[in-house]
Structure 1
Amino acid sequence: MKNVAIIPARGGSKRLPNKNILLLDGIPLIVHSIIFAQKNAAIIDAVYVSTDDAKIKEIAIQYGAKVIDRPSKLAGDFEPTVCALKHCLEIINDKEIESVILLQPTNPLRPENLLQETFEVYTDKSCDSLFTVTRNHQKFGKIVGSEYIPFNYEIGQRSQDLEPIYFENGLLYITKTKAILNDEIITRNAFPYQVNHVFSTVDIDTKEDFDYAEYLLKKSKT
């Protein structure tokens, strides 16, 4: 059975124009995910980039990825990612593909052994999907009218005593092909794999996010 990596990268970013091709550490943002996939060739049989953008397509091919041309109707601001994945699988049309590794280009920094570790768990647990999460230690609340209502704590409670709460960090998703074809990335029996690494705090959507990623990347090299 085969496993493929799919990197969805449309060209229509609003808050940070052309973010998927901005240079991070000297190479386009999207290339960090391509290289991560290529370094895991023992697990990943092929690397695909789904895009509607000619420049992204050119860069992806230059760095050795295969490209699936995404139709404009699947590249809108509100189009779910699963639609792009499903379109890729339908175009590739390979019945031997068992699982898809989704790598979002906006999460370019990942611990080196992340895929090896998660794929082992994904296989051992026999689940239909796995996604990465990170514990959050902040105190959250809602504002209703002019009243602040704590969500995950009581006023005066110490941060270290909070009930554990986690966020979907976007670093990595592994999903059975059959689930994606049924419009699911995170399935009912998905395994939440905890990642306690500073890279899990990077999700690039603004210039400030990009600068933070650049800072962490430089710091990690020293």
Structure 2
Amino acid sequence: MTNKARTLAIIPARQGSKRLPGKNLLLLAGKPLIQWSIEAAQQSRAIDEVLVTSDDATVLALAQQLGVNHVLERPKDLASDIAKTSDVIRHALAYRMQLDNRPETICLLQATSPLRTAADIDGAHTLYTRSGAPSVISVCELEHPLAWCSTLDASHSMKSFLKNLLQEKRSQDLEKCYRINGAIYISEAAFLMKTGGFLSEETLAYIMPRCRSIDIDDRIDFCFAKSILECDF
């Protein structure tokens, strides 16, 4: 097993969501949305330290209350809706390096993925350490076959669907496709600083179930997450 110790979980939580205002503090099953990710990181055997970066003072105060190792106030230029996640991570790493040595491994946990568990983080980290890959990204199976998807022009003609639909295959006979679910991104810190991202030709996928792959972007996603929690999976 490759020794990739000292893993820092970074949880970004920007204040200015336009489609779901204040979503990081919305109560999901009695807990603020961001608390789900904080607790998953704290309960994970793979995570050594947790850092929350936000431009929201209430979020940072909650993180401190929950015992997060590092809370970082994010500058305005990294809190806009056009700010790059890679720049947010670099800012967090620069802060962390001022304290002592840079962590070897970064685990990005987005606060909008509350149903991801500590076991999911541990599983992805195990794949990362055992494979020797520079990065691992979580995915889940697509909800519908890719053959059922296409683009529409201004006329809304479905000609582009015709080729796939004429194959007349049952959905269960179509090749499985996967999507990035936004829940877990793990990378060597050096690789991340060099490339500015997690995805490369050597990146491996960690497959998560769809029921834990909800990425909350709007109220529909939030209501869906609440419904999933009420079901017994």
| TM exceeding 0.5 | yes
Three-state SS of the structure 2 residue aligned to 1:150 is: helix
CA separation of 1:129 and 1:152: change in aligned 2, threshold 3 A: farther
Structure 1 unaligned spans of 5+: none
Write the deviation string for residues 17-38 of structure 1: whole angstroms up to 9, x where unpaired: 1000011111110000000001
CA separation of 1:197 and 1:205: change in aligned 2, threshold 3 A: closer
Q: Which residue of 2 aligns with 1:77?
A: 81
Offset at residue 96 of structure 1 (A) = 4.3
Q: Which has the higher helix share?
A: 2
CA separation of 1:130 and 1:54: change in aligned 2, threshold 3 A: same
Structure 1 segments (4+ residues) deviating >6 Å: none
Query: TM-score, normalised to structure 1's length?
Result: 0.92
Letter paired with 1:161 = D
Q: Which has the higher strand share?
A: 1
Kindly indicate whether residue 136 of structure 2 is the aligned counterpart of residue 133 of structure 1.
no
Structure 2 unaligned spans of 5+: none
CA contact (8 A) 1:175 1:186 kept: no
Choose from 212, 216, 222 the match for 2:224.
212
Write the deviation string for residues 8-61 of structure 1: whole angstroms up to 9, x where unpaired: 001001111100001111111000000000101x32111000101111111111
CA contact (8 A) 1:152 1:163 kept: no
Query: TM-score, normalised to structure 2's length?
Result: 0.88
Q: Which residue of 2 aligns with 1:154?
A: 165
For the aligned residue pairs, the C-alpha RMSD in angstroms reads 1.8
Offset at residue 112 of structure 1 (A) = 4.7
CA contact (8 A) 2:12 2:54 kept: yes
Aligned identity (percent) is 36
Offset at residue 144 of structure 1 (A) = 2.9
Letter paired with 2:170 = R
Q: Which residue of 2 aligns with 1:191?
A: 204
Choose from 120, 144, 150 the match for 2:153.
144
How many residues align structurally?
A: 219
